[in-house]
Chains A and B, each alone.
Chain A
Amino acid sequence: MKYIDEFRDSGVVRALARRIGTLAGDLGTIKLMEVCGTHTMSIARFGLRSLFPENIELTSGPGCPVCVSPQSFVDKAIAYCRRPETIVTTFGDMIRVPGSSSSLEKERSGGADVRIVLSTMDALQIAVSNPEKDVVFLGIGFETTAPTIAASILAARGKSIGNFAVLSGHKTMPNAMAALASDPEVRIDGYICPPHVSAIIGSDAYLFLAERYNKPCAIAGFEPVDIMQGVLWLLEMIATGSPDVRNQYSRVVTKTGNPEALRILREVFTPKDDEWRGIGAIPLSGLAIADAFSKYDAEIRWPVEAEPQFIPPGCICGRILKGTAGPRDCGLFGKACTPDEPVGACMVSSEGACAAAFKYG
């Protein structure tokens, strides 16, 4: 099985769409939140919205690591760009996110040493190859990526690599999903859970959302068949009033997740209250580098001052990340804010709701 072919089979997708249509006919307006940014992109790219009946609404959530990184994080990253003898290493999308007065991309074209890496291990290699420079890695991402950063910190310690440190902006999903579930401004009837995060934390991690918050949860993969099946299962749970956690992505996700990844996550990071762009503070939703590894915490090792924060008026990324507004509700969408000249992070990131809406129409 190649997965791409089978899970994009148009016959299967259409059959699922028919079943969704039949089931949805007996329900009123249903709002489902796809938390993960790649789901948002997938739904837009395959045009899946046109396959759902009108009363089923899919809203994008805060599962875009670039989008939810607060402005202060970007400004600190830019401060590292301006620090002498420093190489800033980052995952791709971050380079275009606007900070208060600049972006990593602009700093790079002004001469700063900013390098895109696919994996933190590549950043570690850059540190080894450039012993005279300080290498800062911008740690963003949820439970999917944080274990790889944890592994890189353990590797740095094991190999005594002294010129490598991480600026940690990592966040965790379940408490953020709980915060939204209890937010009176936000209406969510069910969650399409983030697939890769789930591969790490396991499907049981969402049980509390079903039991305490009465929110049905379906973990679904990224392909069209995955998403359609996940939506169908959510509607089944809503129709029968039986919130639970159902795992559609069973080819990757287990009940307890990836024990080794979780082990090193807990060794290297400690949970902290954290700020999510636009949403604000969510308790125990971020990851700080544990004291034992403070040598690899960029903010402790090489503290920098970020410039005063400036958030452009009119940007409603926060509401979009909460699902209380869509990209087209924003006055700046497509006018002052475009992928070329983004005002907010939602327009920049390849997982951003506004980028998806702009790109795919």
Chain B
Amino acid sequence: MLAHGSGGKAMHDLISSLIVPAFSNPRLEPLDDSALLQIGDRTVAFTSDSYTVDPIFFPGGDIGRLAVCGTVNDLAVCGAVPFALSCALIIEEGLPTADLQRILDSMKSSASEAGVEIVTGDTKVLQHGKGDKIFINTSGIGLLPRHRAPLPGKAVAGDAVLVNGPIADHGAAVMAEREEYALRAEISSDVAPLSDLIETLLAAVPEAHCLKDPTRGGVASALNEIASASRMTIVLNEEAIPVRKPVAGLCELLGLDPLYFANEGKVLAVVPGERAEDALEALKSHPLGREAAIIGVVKEFDRVPLAVKTPFGSHRVVSMLTGEQLPRIC
């Protein structure tokens, strides 16, 4: 069902109960954003992602830019420097050539921005009605710098949680743009390649424990994953979480929670507590991190993986996304 693709619990269950057992091998088991492969004396990061976003053009970006940045970012959050991408296009008959050109141009400029090249690919055309305008798969390889060990990928008590800027922009922009909702709002996707930002961060704080890009399922799902994998509890400070006012307004109107919206130009960084300020400074020194913030702390496990402290001192639990987010009725 649709819920299986939304990045939340249903998708996780599908992957862990059906897909992983079918392919089972030790390099797959970590289920990180990229697989890390030892090839000769180098550690190579390898990742793949498919992009089916609708609408294909949205404020701030398009499916092509998303396809390049998403895969670049999956490599970057493993501490790898992105090296090259493949690009497989599945095009529905009838897609205007001008649209395809626009998407390809966007992919080229995004790849240049990210410092990668698209070196191989494939093109298929489906009969009209058998697809949805265009689907794109990009796979990517990157190299872990020789001096860098793979990130532990786990949080420990006392760690700080940072984000490089306001959350929920991408999910809100796509939702606002969708024809069926007919809303007009000053919201733009944050889609951007983060490799350079992450290099800046890791240069300043090589002891970072964990990086994750909160795409589908949002910050809530990403932090639930980190906390569960680490057997810790992450407590966020609601007042510290940056959300742009139009995005907050859209969420309030529809009764939705920005913590569950997708981000495509954001990285969550979990770093040792005593390095939090250095990490913040490093992020803020970069154009994609000017509005970075320390948003939470990691504590010993206490009943739930993720909670938020409200401005009134109370706590609420933030669980994994279940199903799709549905707008309110009345």
Contact = CB atoms under 8 A, between A and B. Distances in A.
A127 to B, nearest CB: 14
Contacts of A214: none
B218 to A, nearest CB: 14
Interface residues of A, number: 48
A326 B326 CA distance: 24
A144 interface: yes
B323 to A, nearest CB: 6
A46 B310 contact: yes
Contacts of B2: 105, 108-109
A122 B311 CA distance: 37
Contact of B329 (A44, A93, A105, A358): A93
Interface string B230-242: 0000000000000
Nearest to B319: A359
Contact of A92 (B182, B249, B310, B329): B329
A285 interface: no
B327 A118 contact: yes
B235 to A, nearest CB: 12
B180 A115 contact: yes
B9 interface: yes
A106 B10 CA distance: 14
B181 interface: yes
B207 interface: no
B315 interface: yes
B326 A361 contact: no
B312 A66 contact: no
B196 to A, nearest CB: 35
B123 interface: no
Contacts of B313: 10, 47, 50
A217 interface: no
A95 B326 contact: yes
A117 B10 CA distance: 24
A51 B317 contact: no
Interface in A6-62: 8, 10, 13-14, 17, 38, 41, 44-51
A66 B327 CA distance: 13
Contact of B330 (A4, A122, A145): A145
Q: Which of B317, B323, B330 has the most CB of A within 10 A?
A: B330
Contact of A360 (B10, B181, B312, B316): B316
A279 interface: no
Given A38-B255, A47-B314, A140 B323 contact: no
A96 interface: yes
A350 interface: yes
B157 to A, nearest CB: 21
A95 B329 CA distance: 12
B125 interface: no
Contact of B9 (A14, A65, A340): A340
Judged by DSSP, the binding face of A is: helix
B328 interface: yes
A92 B312 contact: no
A239 to B, nearest CB: 24
B325 to A, nearest CB: 9
A49 B316 CA distance: 11
Contact of B10 (A38, A93, A144, A340): A340
A38 B328 contact: yes
Contacts of B312: 10, 13-14, 17, 46-48, 51, 224
B314 A93 contact: no
Contact of B1 (A47, A109, A140, A338): A109
A196 interface: yes
Contacts of B180: 115-118, 122
Contacts of B1: 105-106, 109
A262 B330 CA distance: 16
Nearest to B315: A47
Nearest to A121: B182
Interface string A189-214: 00000001000000000000000000
A275 to B, nearest CB: 19
Contact of A4 (B248, B323, B328, B329): B248
Given A8-B311, A38-B328, A91-B329, A340 B322 contact: yes
A297 B157 CA distance: 60
A13 B314 CA distance: 12
B304 interface: yes
B300 interface: no
A118 B2 CA distance: 19
8 closest A-B pairs (Cβ-Cβ)? A47-B314, A92-B326, A361-B317, A10-B311, A339-B322, A144-B330, A91-B329, A109-B1
8 contacts: A4-B249, A41-B255, A45-B310, A49-B314, A50-B313, A51-B314, A96-B326, A361-B307
